[in-house]
């Protein structure tokens, strides 16, 4: 089988999920890794039987087809540009960048070089969210009219050993967790047309709660409680709240309300979970899941889909257009919160193609 060879840049916490998940997808061949911390790269290389390189050497390695970019958000665009200049496709963790403006050079260079750019999140490939997509497409809840989305937690400093970047530009609850919710909503409803919102910074300082930095305080430079109203091109209006200021709440992650019924959607940060529907005034029922990737962590499936798409010469789902649209939505919410305006999206995307339920494991397109 033809494969795409992958070189990883950024050997932090999330890399284990990617490196473990790669084994499930035959179109991927992980061969090398690099990090600005040589010890981190060496440890990952030993654990996963990879070759260890400096960042420059990995980028210039002629055996590598795709750069997997798992650096922190502030470095996503620069690393992706370096990959494209080296003649390689690139796939990064979310978000695509910390601002829409910095992604313009990425869009231009990818187009000039004829190279692919992909971006997480890819949890919308999961069995739960593909089940929800099938039900929406089949009209089970009728025409979608409205919805809600809630991601509200106390803050990542309670568990993450190096949480500083969550409270710097490019961080915050919207930029960090919003991509999961927005990408899944776009998977279910299509692209966003316009947004408005409010935002606040509730606490100027945070205290790290774990690891070697436990007890240290960090400054907060971003809003930590953001409320938004999203108007989708299909007419649906969705209220979304993302927060690092809430100790506990009782809301579902995502709910959709249609002309025939309602749906409760599982956590978009996971691949699995129950999808519940209520038709008319009936009782809630749990929908049958017939899709794969609903039991486990497949947090490399978006890269696998891109690799398969390169080989089969088809579009990939976790695309540059989708991730740029998500970034524009998030940036527009923050601008709208500052200005009181309702902002219309300029960079559109197509709704990702659903996954077929009857494909063999590891294959993502017929």
What kind and span of H or E run contains 189?
helix 172-189
Give the pLDDT of residue 182: 98
Q: How far apart are CA 221 and CA 204, in angstroms?
A: 8
Dihedrals phi, psi of 126, to nearest 5 degrees:
-65, 155
Q: Is residue 53 part of a domain?
A: no
Give the pLDDT of residue 281: 86
What is the pTM assigned to this prediction?
0.95
Strand order in the sheet with 144-152: 285-286, 276-279, 261-265, 254-258, 144-152, 237-243, 225-232, 192-200, 343-344
Q: Residue 78: pLDDT above 90? A: yes
Give the pLDDT of residue 181: 98
Q: How far apart are CA 289 and CA 256, in angstroms?
A: 18
Over residues 9-15, the mean pLDDT reads 94
| pLDDT tens-place string over residues 264-288 | 999 999 999 999 999 998 899 999 9
Dihedrals phi, psi of 76, to nearest 5 degrees:
-55, -50
Q: Is residue 258 part of a domain?
A: yes
Residue 145's CATH number: 3.30.360.10
How many degrees, rounded to 5, is the angle at CA 293 between CA 7 and CA 73? 40
Over residues 230-240, the mean pLDDT reads 98
Give the pLDDT of residue 125: 98
* Beta strands 144-152; 237-243: pairing state: parallel
Q: Is residue 294 part of a domain?
A: no
For helices 172-189 and 127-137, the axis angle rounded to 10 degrees is 50
> End-to-end alpha-carbon separation of the chain, Å?
15
What is the share, in percent, of the chain residues with pLDDT greater than 90? 93
Give the pLDDT of residue 71: 95
Give the pLDDT of residue 169: 84
Contact 226, 333 (CB under 8 A): yes
Helix (H, G, I), strand (E, B) or coil at 317: coil
Q: Is residue 170 part of a domain?
A: yes
Give the pLDDT of residue 13: 86
Helix, strand, coil share (%) of the chain residues, nearest 5: 35, 25, 45
Give the pLDDT of residue 366: 85
Greater confidence (282 vs 246) lies with 246
Question: Measuring CA to CA, which residue among 103, 85, 86 is closest to residue 94?
Answer: 103
In the 8-state DSSP scheme, what is residue 289? P
Q: Residue 1: pLDDT above 80? A: no
Helix (H, G, I), strand (E, B) or coil at 278: strand
Over residues 189-209, the mean pLDDT reads 96
- pLDDT grade, residue 170 (50/70/90)? confident
Q: Is residue 242 part of a domain?
A: yes
Contact 322, 161 (CB under 8 A): no
What is the share, in percent, of the chain residues with pLDDT greater than 70? 100
Q: How far apart are CA 334 and CA 320, in angstroms?
A: 21
Q: Is residue 342 part of a domain?
A: no
| Count of domains observed in the chain | 1
Neighbouring CB atoms inside 10 A of 187's CB total: 23
- pLDDT grade, residue 162 (50/70/90)? confident
Over residues 318-334, the mean pLDDT reads 98
Q: How far apart are CA 112 and CA 97, in angstroms?
A: 20
Dihedrals phi, psi of 175, to nearest 5 degrees:
-70, -30
Contact 250, 270 (CB under 8 A): no
In the 8-state DSSP scheme, what is residue 49? T
Q: Residue 243: pLDDT above 90? A: yes
| Full residue range of the structural domain in which residue 192 is found | 127-286
The backbone region for 235, taken as left when phi is positive above 0, alpha when psi lies in -120 to 50, beta otherwise, is left
Contacts 24+ apart (CB under 8 A), 166-171: 166/244, 167/206, 167/218, 167/219, 167/220, 167/221, 167/222, 167/224, 168/74, 168/221, 168/222, 169/74, 169/98, 169/221, 169/222, 170/72, 170/73, 170/74, 170/95, 170/97, 170/98, 170/99, 171/73, 171/222
Average pLDDT of the chain, as a whole number: 96
Contact 300, 192 (CB under 8 A): no
Q: How far apart are CA 178 and CA 185, in angstroms?
A: 10
Over residues 332-359, the mean pLDDT reads 96
Q: Is residue 218 part of a domain?
A: yes
Over residues 334-339, the mean pLDDT reads 97
Q: Is residue 323 part of a domain?
A: no
Strand order in the sheet with 117-119: 51-53, 28-34, 4-9, 66-69, 89-92, 117-119
- pLDDT grade, residue 165 (50/70/90)? confident
């Amino acid at each position: 089988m033809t494969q795409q060879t992958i070189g990883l840049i950024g050997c932090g916490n999330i890399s284990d999920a990617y490196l473990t998940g790669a084994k499930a997808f035959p179109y991927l061949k992980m061969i090398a890794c690099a990090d600005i911390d040589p010890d981190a790269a060496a440890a990952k290389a030993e654990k996963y039987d990879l070759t260890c390189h400096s960042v420059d050497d990995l980028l210039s390695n002629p055996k590598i087809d795709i750069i997997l970019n798992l650096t922190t958000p502030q470095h996503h665009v620069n690393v992706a540009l370096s990959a494209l200049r080296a003649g390689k496709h690139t796939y990064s963790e979310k978000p695509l960048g910390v601002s829409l403006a910095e992604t313009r050079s990425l869009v231009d260079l990818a187009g000039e070089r004829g190279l692919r750019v992909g971006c997480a999140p890819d949890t919308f490939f999961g069995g739960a969210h593909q089940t929800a997509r099938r039900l929406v497409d089949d009209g089970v809840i009728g025409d979608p009219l409205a919805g809600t989305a809630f991601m509200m937690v106390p803050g990542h400093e309670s568990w993450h050993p190096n949480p500083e970047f969550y409270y710097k530009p490019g961080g915050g609850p919207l930029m960090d967790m919003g991509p999961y919710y927005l990408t899944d909503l776009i998977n279910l409803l299509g692209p966003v047309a316009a947004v408005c919102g409010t935002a606040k910074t509730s606490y100027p300082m945070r205290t790290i709660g774990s690891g070697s930095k436990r007890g240290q305080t960090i400054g907060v430079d971003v809003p930590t409680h953001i409320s938004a109203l999203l108007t989708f091109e299909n007419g649906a209006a969705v209220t979304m709240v993302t927060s690092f200021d809430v100790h506990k709440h009782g809301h579902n992650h995502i709910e959709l309300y249609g002309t025939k019924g309602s749906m409760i959607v599982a956590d978009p940060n996971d691949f699995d979970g129950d999808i519940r529907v209520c038709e008319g005034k009936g009782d809630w029922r749990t929908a049958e899941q017939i899709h794969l990737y609903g039991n486990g962590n497949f947090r490399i499936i978006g890269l696998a889909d891109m690799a398969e798409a390169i080989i089969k010469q088809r579009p990939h789902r976790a695309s540059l257009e989708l991730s740029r649209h998500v970034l524009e939505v998030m940036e527009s919410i923050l601008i709208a919160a500052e200005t009181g305006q309702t902002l219309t999206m300029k960079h559109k995307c197509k709704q990702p193609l659903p996954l077929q339920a009857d494909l063999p494991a590891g294959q993502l397109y017929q």
